[in-house]
């Protein structure tokens, strides 16, 4: 029953901000490997924002990268939806 409630949660800007505030310090790491491309992603909730760090490389010799950015609202919504079952949602509707 709880799982269905989580998936039915409407992720408005207000709800997203409440989730970010309730999950300060949340970290999730993922990896992606494709043809000629490898990257690791770290999602961190800090200061009421979702920070995304991307570290990786392509097949080119000088193509290493390490970027950190603040996610925009659409990216934040997508990431929260993806990891909603791992987040603290107590009292948030």
> Does residue 91 sit within a domain?
no
pTM across the whole model: 0.85
pLDDT for the residue 8 = 67
- Please give the Cα distance from 64 to 72 (Å, whole number): 24
Residue 61, domain member (yes or no): yes
In a domain, 52, yes or no: yes
Parent domain of 68: 2-7+25-86
Q: Is residue 17 part of a domain?
A: no
Confidence at residue 93, expressed as pLDDT on a 0 to 100 scale = 79
Would you say residue 15 lies in a domain? no
Domain count across the chain: 1
The per-residue pLDDT for 57 is 93
* pLDDT per residue of the chain (93 residues) written in tens, 0 to 9: 344 455 568 999 999 999 999 999 999 999 999 989 999 999 999 999 999 999 999 888 778 999 999 999 999 999 999 999 999 999 887
pLDDT of residue 65: 94
Q: Is residue 13 part of a domain?
A: no
How high is the pLDDT of residue 72? 98
* 79 is a domain residue: yes
């Amino acid at each position: 029953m709880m799982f269905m409630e989580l998936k039915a949660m409407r992720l408005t800007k207000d709800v997203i901000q409440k989730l970010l505030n309730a999950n300060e310090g949340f970290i999730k790491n993922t990896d992606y490997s494709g043809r000629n491309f490898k990257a690791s992603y770290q999602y961190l909730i800090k200061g009421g924002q979702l920070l995304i760090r991307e570290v990786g490389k392509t097949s080119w010799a000088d193509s290493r990268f390490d970027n950190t950015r603040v996610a925009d609202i659409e990216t934040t919504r997508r990431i929260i939806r993806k990891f909603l079952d791992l987040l603290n949602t107590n009292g948030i509707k």
